[in-house]
Amino acid sequence: MFRPFLTVALVVFASAKCNAASPSFLNEVMPLLTKQGCNQGACHGKGAGQNGFALSLRGYDPDADFKRLTRELDARRIDPAQPERSLLLLKATGTASHEGGKMFGVGSREYAVLRDWITAGAPGPDTSDATVRTLDILPADRVMKPGERVPLTAWATYSDGSRRDVTWLTKFETNDAAVAEVTAAGGVTAKRAGATSVRAAYLTEVAVAVVTVPHDRSVDATLFAPRNNAIDGHVLTKLAQLRVEPSGLSGDLEFLRRVHLDAIGTLPTTAEATAFVADPSPDKRAKLIDALLARPEFTDFWTLFLGDLLQNRKERDHDVRGVKGVRQFHDYLRKQVAANRPWNELARDILTASGDTVANPAVGYYVVTVGEAAPEKSEAAESVAQAFLGTRIGCAKCHNHPLERFTQDDFYHFTAYFSRVKLDRKDSKLGPTTLTVGLKDANQTRRPVGVNQPRTGAYLRPQSLDRGAVSLLPGQDPRAKLAAWVTAPANAAFSGAMVNRVWKHYLGVGLVEPVDDLRATNPPSNPALWAELCREFQSSGYDLRQLMRTILNSRTYQLTSSSRPANATDARFYSNYYARRLSAEVLLDAIGDATGAPEPIDGYPLGTRVLQVPDPGANSAFLKLFGRSERTTACACERSGDVTMPQLLHLQNNPGFASKLDAATAAVMKQWDALDKDDAKLLDWLYLHALTRAPRPAERDAVLGMLKAGQPRADVYHDLLWALLNSKDFTFNH
């Protein structure tokens, strides 16, 4: 009955006698538990813990973990009098029953650290310990052959200037195990051709090592020569390093359809296609690109893009921002796109928006991200980070980020920028919602701007994610400081986030994937190209049209989607154009254009293009089925480009689609009359109209054969239209 008292007494006694050589709880014990997986979500790090023992996820709360290890349940987990009999060691070595199995052996380095820590009295977190500042991996970049093995070492630099080899305490993981595997000790083995990165984590710091495994084959060097601009140089250099051949240049019609759908979200007309093919100008593609970037359809398309990014939607649970507020913000964004407003200026305006939603529709961004929630519970911090910096910090709301250096304190420091946002929310029929920045807190005191950290109770002042100090003048809106930091040229994440989004839109795969998950442990697939595009975007004054012009004029964008044997498996390095399904709005508009029957949208005049509809809540089973964004978060994952069985069944059997085909068939028969009842000419026109290409010989022979066999002409063309609009050639951009 006296054991608990004696155990605690021994701990206190031993703690008083521990010497400087005893293992550090913060710098050795905690990272050891993390590397062994003890505090991971699948083990004791989950919310309820495991078998009565809970640790903070990946060690984000060392004080609580220390108490659980040394005080909880009458200090049953450690025995300073007989360290080797400590339950912590018995379970980890498999000597005692442990659901997680054996973690390490008796006599191992891990065992010695925990034993010595317990022997020294299990000292707790020491605030005088040097803290880790940076982590480096050596080698940081390695070209390997399949089967080759290379050991990595991790080096930590601390606040006292010391530098230590922490490889044995570092957790290593690979971003693509199919290309390269990594052991717990940091040994990397190349598996097959490709490129990936190995990420390392020690305490709050992370680092990556890039592994490149070229194909073992010869390539045609002449294929790497043609280049239109700097983009091609970086892409081809990477492909040459991997020994992946690029595809050839797309044909005129292939390029015409592609760039229309990518830049303005509409199909080219038959007249546009005929004129483009007939144009002998060597620079006709560059001229076409300039013309598309100046069209009103471009403005419609990219207003939709920004509406997704900035979550322009109605509020589901309130009547304070209905369709009227959504339309106001949409019109505001449309004016910015039409004027080619520099992205950094537009971002600053939105981040610092105040006033009412009529005079300043950008306030709508805060209506949906701040809402009625308390500052520390609003969505503003994670939405701003993801939309403007391409950075996902939501994990740090509850615990330290598992893949990045952001801590829980970092999250609430960032949240503090929005702590004084006040929304005077009115029913939309009574007046507009107004945003003000309160100069005083709820107690009407001049307390410094900040929020309470829910776990520790600490009052945290505004601080940027790079942990730079922020000084505020009395009465100053903290968001002004935030906007200045976010849009500063030195903030590579700001330019990188938009560059990556635009690049993915046009090339199908982001330089970083997921597209809005920029972090040190998720590096771009082509770092040199990434740096080039970010530099150009900044030097252009954050001109989105110029960024797009550069991408569209590159040979990389203009490559055919047809692959070669030497690039058939490439899906990351842009050796060919990657075909992808049209987005929900673009596909529905394309069906309307091809059939001559635009989609009716409730509340909008017939003939309104789906791309022009501001409200993502507009009633449309088609748009929901084909993955439009609901705009509930800033995550790009809200918009889906997946192909599903319900989508295919909808296109094949939906009554509304069938009625459009009936109307289109009647129009086709009128066109037949206009073409002197020449079926060959009609086939050319119809394929150009729907697919922006000529019919292939087999397709032509099949249709003409059915007509020659006496099948009713209207039925043949009705079925042909159905087949064309259900084909991959129509539903995909390629």
| Full 3-state SS string of 367-380 | HHHCCCCCHHHCCH
Whether residue 23 sits in one domain with residue 152: no
- Report the pLDDT value the prediction gives residue 400, as an integer from 0 to 100: 73
Nearest-angstrom CA–CA distance, 666 and 713: 11
Token output for 248: 């050839």
- Report the pLDDT value the prediction gives residue 32, as an integer from 0 to 100: 93
Name the pairing type of β-strands 205-213 and 141-143: parallel
Whether residue 139 sits in one domain with residue 113: no
The answer to whether residue 636 is domain-embedded is no
Least confident of 282-291, 437-446, 468-477, 541-550: 437-446
For residues 327-347, average pLDDT: 97
For residue 445, pLDDT beyond 60: no
Residue closest to 236 by CA, chosen among 508, 554, 580: 554
Whether residue 155 sits in one domain with residue 75: no
For residue 518, pLDDT beyond 90: yes
For residues 440-449, average pLDDT: 62
Number of domains in the chain: 4
Separation in Å, CA 246 to CA 196, 217, 226, 538, 562: 20, 14, 10, 29, 10
The residue among 85, 119, 153 that closes a domain is 119
Higher pLDDT, 45 or 142: 142
- Report the pLDDT value the prediction gives residue 288, as an integer from 0 to 100: 98
SS3 content of the chain, % helix, strand, coil (to 5): 45, 10, 45
- Report the pLDDT value the prediction gives residue 404, as an integer from 0 to 100: 74
Nearest-angstrom CA–CA distance, 401 and 405: 7
- 415 has which bridge partners? none
For residues 163-187, average pLDDT: 95
Token output for 355: 């006033």
For residue 666, pLDDT beyond 70: yes
Residue type, 35: K
- Report the pLDDT value the prediction gives residue 314, as an integer from 0 to 100: 86
The answer to whether residue 371 is domain-embedded is yes
Residue closest to 321 by CA, chosen among 288, 356, 286: 356
- 470, 414 in Cβ contact below 8 A? no
Name the pairing type of β-strands 732-733 and 153-158: unpaired
Nearest-angstrom CA–CA distance, 226 and 246: 10
- Report the pLDDT value the prediction gives residue 429, as an integer from 0 to 100: 61
Q: How confident is the model at residue 383 (pLDDT cuts 50, 70, 90)?
A: very high
For residues 696-716, average pLDDT: 96
CB-count exposure of residue 236 (10 Å: 0-12, 13-18, 19+): buried
Residue closest to 357 by CA, chosen among 349, 366, 348: 366
For residue 15, pLDDT beyond 80: no
The answer to whether residue 38 is domain-embedded is yes
Site of tokens 């498996």: 569
> Percentage of residues in the chain with pLDDT exceeding 70?
94
CA distance between the termini of the chain: 77
Whether residue 308 sits in one domain with residue 184: no
What ranges in 570-644 are assigned the alpha helix state H?
A: 584-595, 621-625
Whether residue 22 sits in one domain with residue 100: yes
Residue 360: how many CA atoms within 13 Å on its side-chain side? 17
- 419, 481 in Cβ contact below 8 A? no
For residue 443, pLDDT beyond 60: no
Nearest-angstrom CA–CA distance, 567 and 109: 46
Whether residue 383 sits in one domain with residue 303: yes
Nearest-angstrom CA–CA distance, 626 and 645: 11
- Report the pLDDT value the prediction gives residue 58, as an integer from 0 to 100: 78
What ranges in 470-620 are assigned the alpha helix state H?
A: 478-486, 492-507, 527-539, 544-553, 555-558, 584-595
* DSSP string for residues in 400-415: --SSSS--HHHHHHHH
Separation in Å, CA 640 to CA 563, 585, 603, 625, 629: 25, 12, 25, 10, 8
Nearest-angstrom CA–CA distance, 92 and 102: 6
Domain of residue 422 covers: 299-486
- Report the pLDDT value the prediction gives residue 469, as an integer from 0 to 100: 81
The answer to whether residue 257 is domain-embedded is no
For residue 9, pLDDT beyond 60: no
Tally of CB atoms within 10 A around 613: 25
* DSSP string for residues in 440-467: S-TTS--PPS-EE-TTT--EE----TT-
For the chain, the average pLDDT equals 91
pLDDT digits (tens, 9 = 90+) for 389-434: 999 998 888 877 777 778 889 999 999 999 988 888 766 565 688 8
Nearest-angstrom CA–CA distance, 154 and 540: 39
296: left (phi over 0), alpha (psi -120 to 50) or beta: alpha
Least confident of 84-88, 262-266, 302-306, 502-506: 84-88
pLDDT digits (tens, 9 = 90+) for 610-657: 999 999 988 899 999 999 999 999 999 999 999 999 999 999 998 988
Nearest-angstrom CA–CA distance, 721 and 437: 58
- 54, 64 in Cβ contact below 8 A? no
Whether residue 708 sits in one domain with residue 591: yes
For residues 441-445, average pLDDT: 51
Tally of CB atoms within 10 A around 394: 18
- 581 has which bridge partners? 732
For residue 18, pLDDT beyond 50: no
- Report the pLDDT value the prediction gives residue 7, as an integer from 0 to 100: 44
- Report the pLDDT value the prediction gives residue 45, as an integer from 0 to 100: 79
- 571, 578 in Cβ contact below 8 A? yes
The answer to whether residue 492 is domain-embedded is no
Q: How confident is the model at residue 316 (pLDDT cuts 50, 70, 90)?
A: low
Whether residue 142 sits in one domain with residue 95: no
Q: What is the CA angle 470-472-473, rounded to 5?
A: 155
The answer to whether residue 350 is domain-embedded is yes
- 205, 132 in Cβ contact below 8 A? yes
Q: Strand, coil or helix: what is 254?
A: helix
The answer to whether residue 240 is domain-embedded is no
- Report the pLDDT value the prediction gives residue 166, as an integer from 0 to 100: 96
Nearest-angstrom CA–CA distance, 492 and 245: 31
Cis check for the bond before 514: say yes or no (omega within 30 of 0).
yes
Nearest-angstrom CA–CA distance, 89 and 112: 10
For residue 21, pLDDT beyond 50: yes
Per DSSP, which regions of 104-213 are E strands?
A: 132-138, 141-143, 149-151, 153-158, 163-165, 171-174, 180-182, 187-190, 194-202, 205-213
pLDDT digits (tens, 9 = 90+) for 356-381: 999 999 999 999 998 777 777 889 99
For 5-22, letters b (16+ CB in 10 Å) and e give eebeebbeebbeebeeeb
- Report the pLDDT value the prediction gives residue 560, as an integer from 0 to 100: 98
- 542, 495 in Cβ contact below 8 A? yes
The residue among 453, 486, 519 that closes a domain is 486
Nearest-angstrom CA–CA distance, 710 and 712: 6
Q: How confident is the model at residue 439 (pLDDT cuts 50, 70, 90)?
A: low
- What backbone torsions phi and psi does residue 419 show, to the nearest 5 degrees? -70, -20
Site of tokens 């019109």: 331
Residue closest to 350 by CA, chosen among 305, 380, 313: 380
Nearest-angstrom CA–CA distance, 674 and 381: 60
For residue 485, pLDDT beyond 50: yes
Whether residue 193 sits in one domain with residue 143: yes
Nearest-angstrom CA–CA distance, 596 and 661: 9
Nearest-angstrom CA–CA distance, 730 and 651: 12
What CATH number should be reported for the domain holding residue 150? 2.60.40.1080
Residue 662: how many CA atoms within 13 Å on its side-chain side? 6
Nearest-angstrom CA–CA distance, 343 and 597: 36
Whether residue 143 sits in one domain with residue 101: no
Site of tokens 């040229």: 489
For residues 153-163, average pLDDT: 96
Whether residue 92 sits in one domain with residue 164: no
pTM above 0.85, yes or no: yes
The answer to whether residue 221 is domain-embedded is no
Whether residue 196 sits in one domain with residue 113: no
Nearest-angstrom CA–CA distance, 29 and 39: 12
CB-count exposure of residue 24 (10 Å: 0-12, 13-18, 19+): middle
pLDDT digits (tens, 9 = 90+) for 103-139: 999 999 999 999 999 999 999 999 889 999 999 999 9
* Contacts (Cβ under 8 Å, ≥6 apart) of 572: 194, 195, 509, 525
Higher pLDDT, 17 or 46: 46
Nearest-angstrom CA–CA distance, 549 and 231: 12
Nearest-angstrom CA–CA distance, 217 and 208: 28
- 70, 13 in Cβ contact below 8 A? no
The residue among 164, 194, 213 that closes a domain is 213
Q: Strand, coil or helix: what is 437?
A: strand
